[in-house]
Amino acid sequence: MAPAIPTDLDRPHFIGIGGAGMSGIAKILTQRGARVAGSDSRESATAASLRALGATVHIGHDAAHLAPDASSIVVSSAIREDNPELVAARERGIPVVHRSDALAAVMEGLRPIAVAGTHGKTTTTSMLAVSLRTLGLDPSYAIGGDLDEPGSNAHHGAGEIFVAEADESDRSFHKYAPEVAIILNVELDHHANYASMDEIYESFETFVGRVVPGGTLVLSADHEGARVLRERLAPGSVRVVTYGEAEDADVRVLSITPLGLTSRVTVAMDDGDRELTFTVSVPGRHYALNAVAALAAGAALGVPATELAPALASYTGVKRRLQLKGEAAGVQVIDSYAHHPTEMTADLEAIRGAADGARVLVLFQPHLFSRTQELGKEMGQSLALADASVVLDIYPAREDPVPGVTSALIVDAARAEGADVTHVAEKPAAVEAIVGMAKPGDLVLTMGAGDVTDLGPQILTRLQEG
């Protein structure tokens, strides 16, 4: 039986309902019987899927879209205070609920696993959701990306487990009370909200403090930031299970063997008394380690590791996480959501490992002025792993331009590493530039968190046209 819908979420209006995080909560509430409405800036497949579930979705933002009997307005941190629907809601005294509070509410009464970290959250959350579903446990889940299978970012399940991606970018993950928390890594990012690593650590410490009594923290034993975080935690404040290749890991990775676009992973469980070998159906060491984190978390919740390990092979990917978009003229086009240097490097290394000597070309779109200002040099260094790259202008998302911060910061840093990098401001010209470079056998990556993902199909069309 589904948990009761909170009164203020029985007729919610979502501003930006098409966003990855917002749409997931909207889908779950709709599936539970709430009368969901919302608006988004443009038509999309997500809007169509919400309508198919019974939600009302308006395109464009207008106070007139707000129903007279709306019980609440749900917003994310990206919604500006001058949004006409938000202004109208405040004038009418309608409660304003942050996305994180709405997600916390739909998890109430279930057994939550919250997946946090600077990178890898979406993949790890997805691995858990798919493998638990494969075992017939029918979990609910809310993920920051659409699964290749079953093709949605959220689901209201009949089971008692709820798997959620926990976003640290705006500290909203402080709202959750997980039975199991996963922290994959801890790095400085989201520069508009965090001024230092110390602030990042404090934020993650607060998240760990939200683990329910008797719960478990699953923490990387390999990542320096995660190890520092553990040292900062009060002894005995939470049960900690570590995973990774480090010799002192509780769930220790003994080997990761690349097998084309998959990997075979062997881990030692229970202080080395038991070994498990399983397949990860996506390439790259970082994805293999994400799978081990999922394994450790499921085991902490009581799911037998011997059952969960083989079930992890049923995960085949998330849209935009090294997703093969197609092949034309002998060129494979792959989409990557990577936008932080660590993610960029990991994805490029994974593709290198699976490319079997093929050339790797990248069409990269920097995401956010603040991130480029702080990490532009490192982004350029990551692009040096490609054979050639085209860099677009910065995708601003919610930010206003910052004087002097442009894609040139990335291009100059890449060239300093000896990389073949070209800046092309306009998307149509960038597509032509990549198509002009590509030869049969090459791999082309569209990379970034913005709308660069739309260019993959355009590249394929141009390759087909010759």
User: Which residues fall in the annotated binding site for ATP?
Assistant: 117-123
Annotated binding site: 117-123
Are 373 and 402 within 8 A, CB to CB? yes
> What is the enclosing helix (H) or strand (E) of 257?
strand 251-259
Question: Order of strands across the sheet with 421-423?
Answer: 321-328, 331-336, 443-447, 360-364, 388-391, 421-423
The Cα 67–Cα 37 span in angstroms is 8
β 140-142/154-155 pair status: antiparallel
- Whether 316 is a known active-site residue: answer no
The one catalytic residue among 27, 46, 85, 165: 165
The one catalytic residue among 46, 85, 121, 124: 121
- Whether 175 is a known active-site residue: answer no
DSSP 395: B
The Cα 137–Cα 376 span in angstroms is 43
Are 404 and 372 within 8 A, CB to CB? no
What are the DSSP calls for 140-198, one per residue?
EEE-SS-BSSS--SEE--SSSEEEEE---TTSGGGG---SEEEE-------TTT-SSHH
- Whether 121 is a known active-site residue: answer yes
The Cα 351–Cα 242 span in angstroms is 27
Q: Is the peptide bond before 401 cis (omega within 30 degrees of 0)?
A: no
**Alpha-carbon distance values, 410 to 7, 286, 345, 367, 376 (Å):** 48, 24, 14, 12, 5
The one catalytic residue among 30, 122, 216, 406: 122
Could you list the active site residues? 121-122, 165
